Amino acid sequence: MITKKKTNWFGMLFEWNGSVLPQLLPRLFILFLYTTAIVYFRDSLLEYHLYINPAIFTLFGIALAIFLGFRNTVSYDRFWEGRKLWGALLNDTRSLARQSHTLIDGVDYEKQRTHFIQMLAALVHALKHQLRETNPDADLERLLMNSYNKKLQIAVFKPIVILKELGIWVNRAKNDGKLDSITQIAFDENLNKLSDIIGGCERIASTPIPYTYSVLLHRTVYIYCFLLPFGFGESMLWTLPFVIVFIAYTFVALEAIADELEDPFGVEPNDLALDAMSAMIENTLLELDNKHIEPIKKTKGYYIT
């Protein structure tokens, strides 16, 4: 994800990074050439009455804009729900790390607490990689070291396996006399919250917007844009290609943005910054464990995942 402070109103007109314009340029260029050809052969088209009443495009354009607005609302709801789940992940892992230090006494349990917090950080990275379908081995080996055994390596749902190990750690602390039953329940409540967060992320990742819905919108947008020149060929000449491209940019860009936001856990420019969030959660957990950390730095005003 790219996050950047907004420039002034004039600079925003020429903003490139973070916009969908780069991926739309080939399509808009084709539409520009197509509209230019229609203007060039305008007289022949009018001779054969190949034009459409502009009022039809006005009415249909309003309906299409409402349709696109609904599509973007649905996609943004998925994006925002994913962001709230990762915000809750930060809060609950912090709570567990704090509990491991404040509710369990004894210097002799220092290594065990560190291992518990490392497992929390490993769970965060494992969830990120599961949602992106990438290989988590490097992060898990770095955090768990000798604890990264064959059982976890072959696991399909690694965050859940790590969550089970966290529960076993809590139960072991109780058996060692470090926790009472009430304190164990407090740990279990936060572990259950982590389970809900993982399930919520999996629900978003495994349940996309119905494909037929996306196909219908995609076809409608492009058919509308390619028919649009026939509605204004009588009243406009060489300004028509520029006007059509501008109108098409609005509709096509809205569809492209909706496609990006639909899967908030991906690696496209406007998806959630899971790399930065995972690193930040890991750092805050390590700091709770009294480890020295380096602050996360931005690069030229951007976070890029």
Measured between alpha carbons, how far is residue 228 from residues 25, 162, 217, 231, 300 in Å? 18, 55, 16, 5, 41
Q: What is the structure's pLDDT at 294?
A: 67
Check residue 302 and give its pLDDT: 37
Q: Which residues contact 121 (CB under 8 A, 6 or more apart)?
A: 93, 143, 281, 282, 285, 286
63 located within any domain: yes
Would you say residue 147 lies in a domain?
yes
Residue 303, pLDDT score: 39
225 lies in some domain: no
Question: In 10 A of CB 76, how many CB atoms?
Answer: 15
Question: Do the domain assignments include residue 1?
Answer: no
Per-residue pLDDT of the chain (305 residues; tens, 9 = 90+): 556 666 666 677 777 776 788 889 999 999 999 999 988 888 787 777 777 888 888 888 888 888 888 889 999 999 999 999 999 999 999 999 999 998 887 777 888 899 999 999 999 999 999 999 999 989 998 888 777 777 788 889 999 999 999 999 999 999 988 888 999 999 999 999 999 999 999 999 999 888 888 888 889 999 999 998 888 876 777 888 999 999 999 999 988 888 888 999 988 888 899 999 999 999 999 999 888 776 655 544 333 33
| 298 assigned to some structural domain | no
Q: Compute the C-alpha angle 141/147/153, nearest 5°.
A: 60
Domains: count for the chain: 1
Is the pTM higher than 0.75? The answer reads: yes
Residue 275's CB is within 10 A of a number of other CB atoms, namely 16
Any domain includes 106:
yes
24 domain-assigned = no
pLDDT at 29: 94
Alpha-carbon span 119 to 285, nearest angstrom: 10
Residue numbers of the domain that contains 282: 9-13+57-206+260-288
32 located within any domain: no
pLDDT digit string (tens) for 1-59?
A: 556 666 666 677 777 776 788 889 999 999 999 999 988 888 787 777 777 888 888 88
